[in-house]
Amino acid sequence: MGTDRPNIVFVVSDTLRTAYLGCYGNPDIRTPNLDAFAADSAVFDAAYPESLPTIPVRRALHTGRRAYPFRDYRPIPWDIVYLPGWQPMADEESTLAEDLAGAGYHTGFVTDTLPYFQPGLNFTRGFWQWEYIRGQQQDRWLSPALVSDERLARYGDPADIRGQGPYGTVLRHAANTLNVRTEQDTTTWQTFDWGMQFIRHNGPLQPFYLLVDCFDPHEPWEAPDKYYRMYADPSYTGKTCPHTRYCPAEGVYDEDQVRDIMAHYCGLVTLVDTCFGRLMNELDNLGLRENTCVAFISDHGTNFVHDNPQGVIGKPSYALYPGTMHLPLMIRFPDGAGAGQRYDELVYNIDATATLYDIASVAPSQQLDGQSLLPVVEGEGFSAREYLTSRYDNTCWYRDDRHWAIVDADGTPKAVFDLQDDPECMNNVLQSRAGVAAGAWQWMVADAGGQIPMYSRQARTNAIGGKP
In 177-289, alpha helices (H): 187-202, 225-228, 255-285
- Its domain, for residue 216, covers 7-142+178-386
Q: What is the CATH number of the domain that holds 290?
A: 3.40.720.10
What H or E segment, with its residue span, contains residue 174? helix 169-176
Report yes or no on 395 lying in a domain. Answer: no
Report yes or no on 427 lying in a domain. Answer: no
Provide the CA 180 distance to its chain's centre, in angstroms.
Answer: 23
What is the signed CA dihedral for 56, 61, 63, 68, rounded to 10 degrees?
40
Report yes or no on 410 lying in a domain. Answer: no
Contact (Cβ atoms closer than 8 angstroms) between residue 381 and residue 375:
yes
How many domains does the chain fold into? Answer: 1
Report yes or no on 402 lying in a domain. Answer: no
How many contiguous H segments (helices) and E segments (strands) does the chain have? 13, 16
Indicate the SS3 state at residue 214: strand
Distance CA 204, CA 60 (A): 30
Per-residue pLDDT of the chain (468 residues; tens, 9 = 90+): 335 899 999 999 999 999 999 999 999 999 999 999 999 999 999 999 999 999 999 999 999 999 999 999 988 888 889 999 999 999 999 999 999 999 999 999 999 999 999 888 999 999 999 999 999 998 999 999 999 999 999 999 999 999 999 889 999 999 999 999 999 999 999 999 999 999 999 988 889 999 999 999 999 999 999 999 999 999 999 999 999 999 999 999 999 999 999 999 999 999 999 999 999 999 999 999 999 999 999 999 999 999 999 999 999 999 999 999 999 999 999 999 999 999 999 999 999 999 999 999 999 999 999 999 999 999 988 899 999 999 999 999 999 999 999 999 999 999 999 999 999 999 999 999 999 999 999 999 999 999 999 998 654 444 344 444
Distance CA 317, CA 313 (A): 12
Strand order across the beta sheet in which 413-418 lies = 387-392, 395-400, 403-408, 413-418
Report yes or no on 319 lying in a domain. Answer: yes
**Helices 187-202 + 255-285 axis angle, to 10:** 10
Report yes or no on 213 lying in a domain. Answer: yes
Report yes or no on 342 lying in a domain. Answer: yes
Distance CA 114, CA 205 (A): 29
Report yes or no on 61 lying in a domain. Answer: yes
Give strand ranges (E) for 42-128.
Answer: 42-48, 106-111
Q: What is the DSSP string of 309-367?
A: TT-EEE--TT---HHHH-EEEEEE-TT-TTTT-EE-S-EETHHHHHHHHHHHT---SS-
Give me the phi and psi of 133, to 5 degrees please. Answer: -95, 120
Distance CA 428, CA 403 (A): 11
Distance CA 334, CA 147 (A): 48
**Helices 255-285 + 32-39 axis angle, to 10:** 50
Contact (Cβ atoms closer than 8 angstroms) between residue 18 and residue 24:
yes
- Is this model's pTM higher than 0.85 or not? yes
Indicate the SS3 state at residue 226: helix
